[in-house]
Amino acid sequence: MNCCTKPFSVRRKNLGFTLVELMVACGIAVLVFAAIGFTTVFTARSFLAIGNYADLDNASRNALDIMSRDIRQTRGLTAYQTNQLTFQDFDGAALTYTWDPAVGTLSRQKGTETRVLLNQCDYLNFGVSQRNPSNDFNFYPATNLSTVKLIDVSWNCSRQILQQKVNTESVQTAKLVIRN
């Protein structure tokens, strides 16, 4: 029988890691934490981009709904520029849509009330033509303001993610017919 004062025999080499084992474990841990960090940053940017796209789409849809409702009910176009349209509304008041490229806003003005429909709008263009299409699937150009019955509008809005302009909405475009 073996009588020892210690219940278990402990060898010196089983007490801890060697320096090489510790360096390998630290290297693997750094790689794992770096991968987790990159994945977290990528996921955060993706969530920001998806939220940004949803917000831009909502703002564009809302602006297009308001414009189409208003333009369809007007009596006619009274002034035209590529960044501004002025209509005579159904009640006889002036209705104006203006894009300010310096500020990047599309605004609607009727009487004394001004409402901003789009912010951070990088590009906007209004086009006018007659309602009847030509043989090449385009519309005949309007010769004067009284023949304008079709408003072509297109815009592009964008936002920044982490101080970089990397998230841009696709171009929104619509053809709106003046019904009156």
d(Cα 63, Cα 73) in Å, to the nearest integer?
16
Q: What is the mean pLDDT of the chain?
A: 86
Is pLDDT larger for residue 5 or for residue 60? 60
Report yes or no on 156 lying in a domain: yes
Report yes or no on 4 lying in a domain: no
Report yes or no on 120 lying in a domain: yes
Specify the number of domains making up the chain: 1
Q: Is 100's pLDDT higher than 80?
A: yes
Using DSSP's 3-state secondary structure scheme, residue 7 falls into: coil
pLDDT tens for each residue of 13-59:
566 778 898 899 999 999 999 999 999 999 988 888 888 888 888 88
d(Cα 84, Cα 74) in Å, to the nearest integer?
15
- Over residues 3-16, the mean pLDDT reads 59
Q: What is the pLDDT of residue 167?
A: 62
Using DSSP's 3-state secondary structure scheme, residue 54 falls into: helix
Report yes or no on 5 lying in a domain: no
Report yes or no on 7 lying in a domain: no
d(Cα 171, Cα 157) in Å, to the nearest integer?
8
**Residue numbers of the domain that contains 101:** 18-177
